[in-house]
Amino acid sequence: MMLIPTHHFRDIERKPEYLQPEKCIPPPYPGPVGTMWFIRDGCGIACAIVTWFLVLYAEFVVLFVMLIPSRDYVYSVINGILFNLLAFLALASHCRAMLTDPGAVPKGNATKEFIESLQLKPGQVVYKCPKCCSIKPDRAHHCSVCKRCIRKMDHHCPWVNNCVGENNQKYFVLFTMYIALISLHALIMVGIHFLRCFEEDWTKCSYFSPPTTVILLILLCFEGLLFLIFTSVMFGTQVHSICTDETGIERLKRKQQPRVHPGSWKMVKETFGGDFSLNWFNPFSGPCHPKALSDRDWVRQVTTISDNTETVEQSAERKDEDSVEVTDE
C-alpha cells in the first residue's frame, strides 16, 4: 500500500482500519419521527429574535400609524389583510426554515461495523468527516455551527439559526420572498401616507404626534429598504442555485466548468414539491422527500475525486492536511 496525501477537506479511506472507527462514538438511537430540530447557538437565536422583532415593528407601524387612523376604510382593510397575510407567511416560513432538519447526516456512523457492511471493492472510497465522525455522502459538507454534516449545504444563515440544505431550502426561499414583498408593500404605504399627511393636517393623519409619526415612518422606511435589497439578493441567489443545482459552497469551490445538472425545471419541482401549484408558496407544504440513503450513496469511485488530488510536494506545504487516499501500488 502507498499513502498519497490529498486535499484537506475530507478524510478519504478505503480500508476500515485507516478510519480509526474505534474513536467514533456509535450514533445515538434515532428519535421519533417529526422530532423538532433546533440549533442552540447564541448568535443565531439572537438574530432570529431580531428578525421577529423587526417584522412585528413593521406590523405595529403599518396598523397603528398608517391604516387604522386612515379615513379610507376600503384602503385600510385591503392593505391590512394583504400585509398581515404576507407577514404571517414570512414568519411561518422562518419557523419552518429554522426548525426543519436541513439534511443532517447521521452522526458517528463511521463505525467499523458500518464500514465493513459496505463491502468496499477495489477502486472505491468512503469519505469521512473527522469533526463529527460521520461518513459523508456526495455533496455533504460539515457545518461548524450545527456541528453536523449537511446534505447539499448551501450556507449557514444566522437569521434563521440553521443551515440551508436539502430539506429546508424551500422554506428559506419563501422566507426571503415574503420578507421582500412585505418590505416593498410597507415602502409603498409609507410613501402614500407621507403624501396624504403633506396634503392634510399632520394631526389628523395619525394618532401619534407629528414628530413621533415622522420618526416611526422613517425607521420603517429604512428597515424596509434595507431588507428589500438584502432579501431580494438572497432570493435571486437561491433561485439561481436551485436552477443550476449548485450550492453556494460548490460554486465557491468550482474552478472551471459548472457541474452537470439534470435540468432547471426538474430541480425547481424537486425543491418546491412537485408540479407547479399553490403549494409552492405554502410554507406548510414540504419539498419532495429525497429517497433514503443506500449503501451505494456512501461509496464513490476513486476517479470521481481525481480533479481534487494533489501531489505529495503540494500537500506537504499545508499544515492542516488530515486526509489520505489509499491506492494499490
Identity of the amino acid at 112:
K
φ, ψ (nearest 5 deg) of residue 39: -95, 125
The rounded distance, in Å, linking the Cα atoms of 163 and 100 is 10
Residue among 56, 115, 25, 111 at smallest CA distance from 295: 115
User: What are the residues whose beta carbons fall under 8 Å from the beta carbon of 2, sequence distance 6 or more?
Assistant: 327, 329
User: What are the residues whose beta carbons fall under 8 Å from the beta carbon of 307, sequence distance 6 or more?
Assistant: none
Handedness of CA 312, 317, 318, 319 (dihedral sign): positive
Strands 155-157, 162-164: pairing kind: antiparallel
Strands 148-151, 155-157: pairing kind: unpaired
Judge whether 70 and 76 are in contact, CB under 8 Å.
Answer: yes
Q: Which residue out of 157, 163, 197, 205 is catalytically annotated?
A: 157
Handedness of CA 244, 248, 249, 255 (dihedral sign): positive
The rounded distance, in Å, linking the Cα atoms of 244 and 29 is 36
Beta bridge partners of 141: 150
Strand ranges (E), 145-297: 148-151, 155-157, 162-164
Strands 140-143, 148-151: pairing kind: antiparallel
157 annotated active-site: yes
Q: Which three cell numbers stand for residue 228?
A: 428589500
- Count of beta carbons in the 10 Å neighbourhood of residue 83: 21
Identity of the amino acid at 226:
L
The residues that are catalytic are 157
